[in-house]
Homo-oligomer: A and B are copies of this chain.
Amino acid sequence: MLENGSHFFEGVEKLLEIWFEESSNGDDDLRNISRSDWENVLSNVNCQIISTSKNDIIDAFVLSESSMFVSKRRWILKTCGTTTPLKCLGQLLKLAEANGYNVVADLFYSRKNFTRPEAQITPHQGFTEEVTYLDSIFPNGRSYCLGSMNLECWYLYTFSRSDIKITPQLISDEKNVDSDPDQTIEILMQDLDPETMSIFYKNKFNDANGATVKSGIDTILPTMHIDDFLFDPCGYSMNGINDKGEYMTIHITPENQFSYVSFETNVALSNYRKLINQVINTFKPGKFIVTIFANKCSLAYETMKELEVEYSQGSHWKRTDMQCCNFPSYNLLFAQYSHSEKTGDNL
């Protein structure tokens, strides 16, 4: 955490989500992978498991750098700092194969631009390097940059088996694609309110639960069973899982010079505006990015258009960028906001 003599920690996470094709054997399950196998996988990433929680549908791991979620055929790894999540891909694919999953249906790798890209370790020293690495494993993947490349942006690499196997006629007739409803919203916040961030220091609370309750994190999605962790001297992580197998996860880098908070969940809502406002009011960022993925079966699919129009009306937030992408089986909404008073853009 000491870079060039000054204290710095890269809160911006690298997020990897993989869906495997359904297997014909009903007993196949990624949750059959043992803890020691996961520890081996994560050693390539340079992080460790520090807490676990689970229910009938999903296993959640708090890591030394962020989180991992494992369900029957979906694997999510989110890691910050100078971790190297792409380096565990080969091992992960072997473990999945040994557990009945030998075909990747969808892969998403995404991240915001790093605050200090020069501090990252290969193969994460730039998006081009990351894409080259992923292309060597998924030769039909596509890479995107949303937002302003020369200011702030969010990178996405996506591979979908449906890009290859579905005929053009089927792709046009998109509503008939048969898959589970799926949606993910991420809110990536920076320049956060120092008073709110002061909650996430070990000298304030002995256990993480105090910080969870004081900040109001427990009220954002009340049905979630929370596994939280407060780092020494500061920093906070939480995973939440509910009976439907939905998850939420929050990671906080509270230091004023490089404050960063990420919120992510896959709860199914028909409109995310209320949730976004609650998260923003909890953490009080100076600027934030929202990304929403929704597939054709998701409740959120049609309402993303509404959000696109509604959000920013009559508020003190300035929407600096807004993009929408239609992929073969997912829609993606990307929006960037900054607080007019803090940024001083309203000259």
Contacts and interface: CB of A to CB of B under 8 A. Distances in A.
Interface of A: 127, 131, 135, 141-145, 147-151, 164-165, 167-169, 171-173, 305, 308, 312-319, 321-326, 340, 345-347
Copies of this chain, tallied across the complex: 2
A171 B150 CA distance: 22
Contact of A312 (B151, B164, B172, B347): B172
B144 A131 contact: no
A134 B165 CA distance: 42
B131 A150 contact: yes
A109 to B, nearest CB: 12
A171 B135 contact: no
B326 A325 contact: no
A314 to B, nearest CB: 6
Contacts of A169: 314
Contacts of A317: 168
Nearest to A158: B148
7 contacts: A131-B149, A144-B149, A167-B346, A168-B345, A319-B326, A321-B325, A322-B325
A347 B161 CA distance: 11
Nearest to A331: B322
A138 to B, nearest CB: 11
A340 B171 CA distance: 11
Contacts of A324: 323-325
A145 B151 CA distance: 13
Nearest to A150: B143
Contacts of A321: 142, 325-326
A340 B168 contact: yes
Nearest to A170: B346
A347 B165 CA distance: 6
B141 A150 contact: yes
Nearest to A171: B318
A321 B316 CA distance: 33
A339 to B, nearest CB: 9
Nearest to A313: B172
Nearest to A145: B145
Nearest to A135: B150
B151 A142 contact: yes
Contacts of A143: 148-150
A21 to B, nearest CB: 16
A150 B136 CA distance: 12
A346 B166 CA distance: 7
B322 A164 contact: no
Contacts of A346: 167-168
Contacts of A340: 167-168
Given A141-B150, A143-B150, A151-B142, A168 B326 contact: no
6 closest A-B pairs by beta carbon, nearest first, are: A168-B318, A322-B326, A142-B148, A168-B340, A167-B346, A143-B150
A142 B131 contact: no
Contacts of A305: 305
Contacts of A326: 308, 319, 321-323
A187 B316 CA distance: 38
Contacts of A323: 323-326
Nearest to A165: B347
A144 B148 contact: yes
Contact of A314 (B167, B172, B308, B347): B172
